Amino acid sequence: MTSAVSSGESITLKIDDKDISCRSGETILAVARENNIDIPTLCFMEGLSVWGGCRLCLVEVAGSPKLQAACATVCTEGMNVVTASPRLKEYRKMIVEMLFAERNHVCSVCVSNGHCELQDMAVKLEIDHVRFPYRYPHLQVDNSHDRARMDHNRCILCTRCVRVCAEIEGAHTKDVKGRGVLAAIIHDLDQPWGESETCTSCGKCVNVCPTGALTHRGTAVGEMQKKTDFLPYLTLMRRTES
Amino acid sequence: MPQTITIDGVTRIEGHAKITIQLDDAGKVYDAQFHVTQFRGFEKFVQGRPLTEMPGIMARICGICPVSHLMAAAKACDDILAVQIPPTAEKLRRIMNLAQMIQSHALSFFHLSSPDLLFGMDGDPKQRNIFGLIRDHPDFARDGIMLRKFGQDIIAKLGGKKIHPAWVVPGGVNAPLTEEVQDSILKEVPAAIERIDRALDYFHQIEGRYPAEEDAFANFPTLFAGLVTADGLLEHYHGPLKFVDQDASLVAELSPADQRHYGSLIGEAVEKYSYLKFPYFKPRGYPDGIYRVGPLARLIVAERCGTRRADMELGAFRTRLGRSPQSSFHYHWARLIEILYGIEMIQRLLQFPDILNTHIRARARPNRLEGVGVSEAPRGTLIHHYKIDDNGLIQWANLIIATGHNNLAMNRGVRQVAERFVDGNKLQEGMLNRVEAVIRCFDPCLSCSTHALGQMPLRIELCKADGEVCDVLQRD
Ligand code: SF4
Ligand code: SF4
């Protein structure tokens, strides 16, 4: 969730020199966005638990030697946050460049070309080339599922799919195996998706995936467009019912 | 002592070609080879990709004829899905394919080849290019540029992009035609017809000026191959694949369903000196099974065009040159006739009552593990052949491109020109240009991008057998 349960107590802080007040317990990311201050994210998704893995939302907090992930840091009284220093911009660029270099993101022939959050992020961060050598790993496309397809070449390991499957659908079909560059999304006990016993074929993972890694089967280049509206709606409905 | 002349494309631009001419002791040509030294490996790196991505990936083979690869790829996918695409989708694909042919032919003829014809093969290379054309023959140049634009605009309007449209998909196309686009294309037709008519008039005046080139530009009997309609008319999208001999008599025919077995008629030889394979007509063996494809071949293979103006022009062509002219010099005229045909056909297709229909895509899962798509690219017959696994991932792909079919004929053509125009061990600009011009008759895909300014960056080396260079001619 964006905000840990807020106690309702009002606090004040500064974000990018702007005086802001919020409820205690809210995260820097939530408060910044409420105040139209844009902090880029890839793994974060409203309605899912916070993962803090992509590190794009790193911000500077006065008095702290470490950069903090805005999605996972709760605001405190008198905090002074900087969201867009030259250093942060440079780090964010590097992070996205590394995502491109890590796997095979061939945008021009990708089903998500033109509708991809990673691509949009590169544009937003004004990335015009990648300074790191590409790894060109040999990765598989899992086309075994009847309705969806997993292309590991395009996965950025944001785990949105894992979280939506476990937290919203309740199936927990997906998970992450391995570490570092060897990490990969798996289904059940690392078997082809189509052989999964737990997958309900709900398609939620496809829609939350920011890239062309998860797509509907049968889509051609540039055709895959994700529908993410269901998520805040679903969470809202569940909250009002409970 | 045998000597070797090498014409080497400077490698700064993609599409590397090199020509070697070997002289015997007396300084006469005894062999010539056209090398394609680029290797792009599409067949390899599509392995493991989902079938539905193939048209989009294959369109990336070439920035000059992406639409052609799109068509052949989509047809191979249709074959694997085992679907009949909706009739409207077929018409829309045809329009885009013809638009591609028009723009490509216009580029080949007006921008690249016409400077040779208008300024002469020995003309000053400084003016023998598109810029000289614009200066000295502005109306002619403008017609060419506008005809190319006519084709490109149609592609952009249909596919949303000029160069790599993702609009053609397995099972059909992914967006219907709007009335607005239909009107805007139809509105441009009369002007386009006027332009090609003018260009043809002009061409009639100059085409007889080159008897020596007519005589020596790959002028020898071969087979010809191309698609035709079920009635034997000119065809670019779908139909029987026909092989005829030098008299235009039928030698073999593959119905669309039989085209999966293209291997029964087409063999693919490999030579050490080129990355481009050498397809040949199997029943005649290698290299006797030499055949040509492309505009000239299509006009020989077809009985008629099937549109009024193009048929009139084809009549003039046949009156002047006979039913099946063997010189590749005539590819130029054939190209102009096809531009005319393309414009007329686009107009006809756009006037079909169902052209605005919104049922434009058949959806299916793979129903076969193997599929073949054959279409006519501007440069000739294009074959895509894919095999998939049970999950619909590409396991294997084979492509036979138009320039490949013509490979044997191009090699032999270079030799013929060299024999005629190369003598002794001194290199002359006109000779270089003619060797290049015969290649250009076939409009090979591989170096058209380097042709764009009218001159291929070229290097000819005249070497003695021991490798010592005794003459060099270079332009970059
Ligand atoms: S389709 Fe639904 S159940 Fe299956 S993996 Fe995706 S989110 Fe989980
Ligand atoms: S498959 Fe998509 S949603 Fe899942 S981790 Fe990879 S990029 Fe994220």
Tell me the per-residue pLDDT of B367-386, one tens digit each, with 9 for 90 and over: 999 999 999 999 999 999 99
Residue (of B223, B227, B456) closest to B338 by Cα position: B227
Q: Which residue of A has its CA nearest to B61?
A: A109
Cβ atoms B219, B329 nearer than 8 A: yes
Interface test with A, best of B391, B393, B394, B395 (most A CBs within 10 A): B391
Q: The dihedral of CA B68, B74, B79, B83: what is its sign?
A: negative
DSSP state of B175: S
Q: Which residue of A has its CA nearest to B170?
A: A220
Joined together, the tokens standing for residue B321 give 């040159």
Question: Crossing angle of helices B429-442/B407-421, nearest 10°?
Answer: 160
Q: Considering only CA atoms, which residue is closest to atom 3 of ligand 1?
A: A199
Contacts of B76 in chain A (CB under 8 A): none
Least confident of A82-96, B54-68, B389-403: B54-68
Nearest atom in ligand 2 to A159's CA: 5
Cβ atoms B140, B199 nearer than 8 A: yes
- Does residue A142's CB lie within 6 angstroms of at least one atom of ligand 1? no
For residue B14, what pLDDT is reported?
34
Which residues are bridge partners to A151 per DSSP?
A: A141
Alpha-carbon distances, residue A22 vs A54, A73, A79, B67 (angstroms): 25, 14, 12, 56
B395 occurs within a structural domain:
yes
Task: Please indicate whether, in this complex, the C-beta atoms of B166 and A143 are within 8 angstroms of each other.
Answer: no
Pick the CATH number of A10-84 from 3.10.20.740, 3.30.70.100, 3.20.20.70, 3.40.630.10: 3.10.20.740
In angstroms, what is the C-alpha Rg of chain A? 19
Q: DSSP assignment of B211-236, as one string?
A: HHHHHHSSBS--EEEEEB-TTS-B-S
Cβ pairs bridging A and B (under 8 Å): 50
Residue (of B275, B237, B277) closest to B259 by Cα position: B237
B122 occurs within a structural domain:
yes
Cβ atoms A219, A111 nearer than 8 A: yes
CA angle A227, A228, A229 (to 5 degrees): 100
Residue (of B262, B270, B267) closest to B289 by Cα position: B267
What is the Cα–Cα distance from A207 to A226, expressed in whole angstroms? 5
ipTM over 0.90: no
Closest approach of chain B CAs to the CA of A15, in angstroms?
42
Reported confidence tier of residue A159, pLDDT bands at 50, 70, 90? very high
Nearest to A220 among B48, B52, B60 (CB): B52
For residue B453, what pLDDT is reported?
34
Q: Which residue of B has its CA nearest to A222?
A: B166
pTM of the model: 0.85
DSSP state of B27: S
B77 occurs within a structural domain:
yes
Q: What is the CATH number of the domain that holds B245?
A: 1.10.645.10
Q: A107-227: same fold as A10-84?
A: no
Least confident of A65-69, A80-84, B422-426: B422-426
Look at B454 and B151; give whichever has higher pLDDT.
B151
* Domain boundary assignment for chain A: 10-84, 107-227
Helix (H, G, I), strand (E, B) or coil at A216: strand
Q: DSSP assignment of B341-396, as one string?
A: HHHHHHHHHHTSTTTT-S--B-------SEEEEEEEETTEEEEEEEEE-TTSBEEE
pLDDT for B472 beyond 80: no
Task: Please indicate whether, in this complex, the C-beta atoms of A108 and B164 are within 8 angstroms of each other.
Answer: yes
Q: Which ligand is nearest to the CA of A148?
A: 1
B314 occurs within a structural domain:
yes
pLDDT for B2-43, tens place per residue? 556 565 543 222 345 567 777 777 777 777 767 665 545 677
Cβ atoms A171, A198 nearer than 8 A: yes
B139 occurs within a structural domain:
yes
In the predicted model, what is the mean pLDDT of residues A162-182? 95
Look at B164 and A63; give whichever has higher pLDDT.
A63
Element (H, E) at A137: none
Look at B228 and B468; give whichever has higher pLDDT.
B228
Residue (of B277, B276, B451, B262) closest to B375 by Cα position: B262
Cβ atoms A164, A208 nearer than 8 A: yes
Give the other-Cβ count within 10 Å of B184's Cβ.
13
Task: Please indicate whether, in this complex, the C-beta atoms of A113 and B166 are within 8 angstroms of each other.
Answer: yes
Least confident of B49-63, B303-317, B442-456: B442-456
Least confident of B107-111, B135-139, B424-428: B424-428
For residue B78, what pLDDT is reported?
96
Q: Considering only CA atoms, which residue is closest to atom 8 of ligand 2?
A: A158
In the predicted model, what is the mean pLDDT of residues B219-247? 96
Residues 6+ apart with CB under 8 A from B79: B260, B368, B371, B372, B373
- Considering its fold, how many domains does chain B have in total? 1
CA angle B347, B350, B351 (to 5 degrees): 90
Helix (H, G, I), strand (E, B) or coil at A95: helix
What is the Cα–Cα distance from B157 to B412, expressed in whole angstroms? 41
Element (H, E) at B307: none
pLDDT for A98 beyond 70: yes
For residue A208, what pLDDT is reported?
97
Q: How far is the CA of A170 from the centre of ligand 1 (A)?
A: 9
What is the Cα–Cα distance from B476 to B459, expressed in whole angstroms? 8
What is the Cα–Cα distance from B284 to B267, expressed in whole angstroms? 10
Helix (H, G, I), strand (E, B) or coil at A81: strand
Give phi and psi for B207, each to the nearest 5. -70, -20
pLDDT for B268-292, tens place per residue? 888 776 767 889 999 999 989 999 9
pLDDT for A231 beyond 50: yes
For residue B159, what pLDDT is reported?
85
Nearest to A109 among B56, B174, B393 (CB): B56
Q: Is the peptide bond before B287 cis (omega within 30 degrees of 0)?
A: yes
Look at B342 and B210; give whichever has higher pLDDT.
B342
Share of chain B above pLDDT 70, in %: 82
Q: Which ligand is nearest to the CA of A166?
A: 1
Joined together, the tokens standing for residue A46 give 């409203």
Mean pLDDT of chain B: 84
Q: Which residue of B has its CA nearest to A144?
A: B391
- Does residue A215's CB lie within 6 angstroms of at least one atom of ligand 1? no
Question: Crossing angle of helices B138-159/B179-206, nearest 10°?
Answer: 150
Residue range(s) defining the domain that contains residue B373? 39-407
Joined together, the tokens standing for residue B178 give 């709007």
In the predicted model, what is the mean pLDDT of residues A117-134? 95
pLDDT for B319-335, tens place per residue? 999 999 999 999 999 99
Residue (of B434, B433, B432, B451) closest to B443 by Cα position: B451
Closest approach of chain B CAs to the CA of A187, in angstroms?
17
What is the Cα–Cα distance from B356 to B127, expressed in whole angstroms? 47
pLDDT for B106-120, tens place per residue? 988 988 888 888 887
What is the Cα–Cα distance from B475 to B89, expressed in whole angstroms? 46
Joined together, the tokens standing for residue B438 give 């015969």
Least confident of A20-24, A220-224, B65-69, B466-470: B466-470
B476 occurs within a structural domain:
no
Q: How far is the CA of A160 from the centre of ligand 2 (A)?
A: 6
Output the furthest CA–CA distance in chain B (Å, rounded).
Answer: 70
Joined together, the tokens standing for residue B220 give 């020898």
B471 occurs within a structural domain:
no
For residue B143, what pLDDT is reported?
95
CATH class of A107-227: alpha beta
For residue B440, what pLDDT is reported?
77
B91 occurs within a structural domain:
yes
pLDDT for B359 beyond 80: yes
CA angle B34, B35, B37 (to 5 degrees): 160
